[in-house]
Amino acid sequence: MENQIESTANNQLIALVTGANQGVGNEIAKALAANGYIVYVGSRKLENGEKAAAEIGENARAIQLDVTQQQSITAAAERITNEYGRLDLLVNNAGISHGGTSPKSPEELMSTGRAVNVSLDEVRTVWETNVFGVIAVTQAMLPLLRKSTAARIVNVSSGLGSLTWISDPECWAREHFGIVYAASKTALNAVTVAFALELEKENIKVNATSPGYTATALNNFQGTDSLEVGSREPVRVALDTDGPTGGFTGPEGPLPW
């Protein structure tokens, strides 16, 4: 088995997608596997990841990964190290829109996410996944990414995180900006730029991308775009080994920070 893995590792690119058991992350994992990648399907619950990986096919590997738990992150990095010894692509996709367990509509999210009434516990819960989890996973996977000849990191963000948009009185996004989810994506954009600046000297590319308003569990499936449409831009950025670094794009092209 070890010889088989070693042989495979020499010929195929290796990717890790967090939160890949459903939604946009699952679509990204499918596309990467279809393009010949060995894809680690990150999932908080291993059984959900195993089901998703089985549906994707032989190039998929389920891996237990809770981005809010350092022990889980460390174990995932150790497993990839032992099995392939490197990582060519990290897609930080795992994200949540609120701190509860029941689905919430976009209207409900906004009513509880405004600066004047937001719960700090809610902010901390969402930012643990959407911001701190990205930092933790990226740091843990850097030794593996450094072993690649064309390493990339793709952070799945949102147009709602654009301060340029929010600052424009005429922009639709202004009314949907809140401290819980939207501001977490603003912070994620800043994290993306920070890593891009640091890693450019090592030729590791770091970009943020928005799927657009996609129907997922994040918005109680009220988004207007299908998963297939929403995953197109993240997949394009993920597969682009010769692209730029430090960019922020969406389905219709570059987005303002």
Active centre residues (catalytic): 181, 185
- Contact status, residue 88 vs residue 148, Cβ threshold 8 Å: yes
User: How far apart (Å, rounded) are the C-alpha atoms in residues 119 and 115?
Assistant: 9
Instruction: Return the DSSP state at 121.
Output: H
Which residues touch 181 (CB under 8 Å, ≥6 apart)? 97, 98, 109, 113, 126, 130, 158, 160, 218
Q: Using CA atoms, how far apart are residues 153 and 252, in angstroms rounded to an integer?
A: 21
Six-digit token string for 22: 């459903």
Decide: 190 and 134 in contact? Cβ < 8 Å. no
Token pair recorded at residue 166 = 């929010």
Q: Name residue 40's beta-bridge partners.
A: 16, 61
Cα-flanking dihedrals φ and ψ of residue 175, to 5°?
-75, -10
